[in-house]
Amino acid sequence: MRAVFYGTPVEAVPSLRALVQMAEVALVTTRPDKARGRSGRPQAPPVKEAAAALGLPVSQPGRAAQDLERLRSLAVDVAVVVAYGQILPSELLEAPRCGFVNVHFSLLPRWRGASPVVRAILAGDELTGVTLMQLDAGMDTGPVLAMHPTGVGPEETAGELAARLAEIGAAMLAAHLPAYVAGEVAPRPQPAAGVTAAARVRAEEAFVDPTRHRCEAVVRAVRAFDPKPGAWTELDGVRLKLWGARAVENPGPEPGRVEAVEGKVLLGVPDGAVELLEVQPEGRRRMTAGEWMRGRRLQPARFTPPEG
């Protein structure tokens, strides 16, 4: 089997490694290096670093269509794509003999789109999974080769869940891709019912207003936006990222107020309280909520709506 791979983030790396074990990988295509951090230095995507370690050729076109003739010249059997980060044009999808196979982190047709893991946690889904599917011109609308359901842990963050789904997806590739390329798997259409969209995450969505957002919504936001962009609020005019939180049964401070109560740091919300476990004041490192409050000499803090 001769293949190419399309992917960008760390969650795509397990599938790349699985593909190398069963196919001759003629090319790895990933997104261009991106400036990150305070230095602004370009940083290679995790898939590029993994491909280099495996001795594989890498392409980083600005637009995937720029590699169309190169892909055609490689005469591959199949292309595998995992979180590449760009919609692929139909002429590209037709270049491999067996088309493109996508490893998607949801049970389609639920959560079609760019951010299925985040959306599942925000919605309170207790079940998710991985779908192995053929790509077509639509947004995750192609026929299904295989599905693997798995539960969502009650405290699992988006980063933790994505890492677990990445390993499941790699195992699914190993189990089903050779049979698909051999013509032994008949893809089946997705159900017409149950379609939901997983729109790309916007930074402003991660804002928490404790005077309006109820307990469960705050806790889900903290889990869903970890590791990025990080749920955040503003207290006493300072932005505070929330990296760990859980619901508490007892009543807490009034909505929008943070107090140290019996060794816990509690944030009041309209229907009770949220215990803050780990926070990060703007411009500082992550720390336990207790350490943050001790730095404030245990003085209460109050929500201040951000300007604009």
Radius of gyration of the chain (CA): 22
Cα–Cα distance, 49 to 33 (Å, whole number): 11
Task: Report pTM.
Answer: 0.95
The answer to whether residue 76 scores a pLDDT higher than 70 is: yes
Percent of the chain with pLDDT over 70: 99
Q: Which residue has the tokens 């869940």?
A: 161
* pLDDT tens digits for range 205-225: 999 999 999 999 999 999 999
Cα–Cα distance, 70 to 190 (Å, whole number): 31
* pLDDT tens digits for range 134-192: 999 999 999 999 999 999 999 999 999 999 999 999 999 999 999 999 999 999 999 99
Tokens of 13: 């790396």
Give the CATH H-level superfamily of domain 203-302. Formyl transferase, C-terminal domain (3.10.25.10)
CATH class, 2-198 region: alpha beta
Contact in structure between 207 and 232 (CB atoms under 8 Å): yes
- Which residue pairs from 238-243 have beta carbons closer than 8 angstroms and sit at least 24 positions apart in sequence? 238/281, 238/282, 239/281, 239/282, 239/306, 240/279, 240/280, 240/281, 240/282, 241/279, 241/280, 241/282, 241/286, 242/208, 242/218, 242/276, 242/278, 242/279, 243/277, 243/278, 243/279, 243/280, 243/286
All structural domains of the chain with their residue ranges? 2-198, 203-302
Contact in structure between 15 and 50 (CB atoms under 8 Å): no
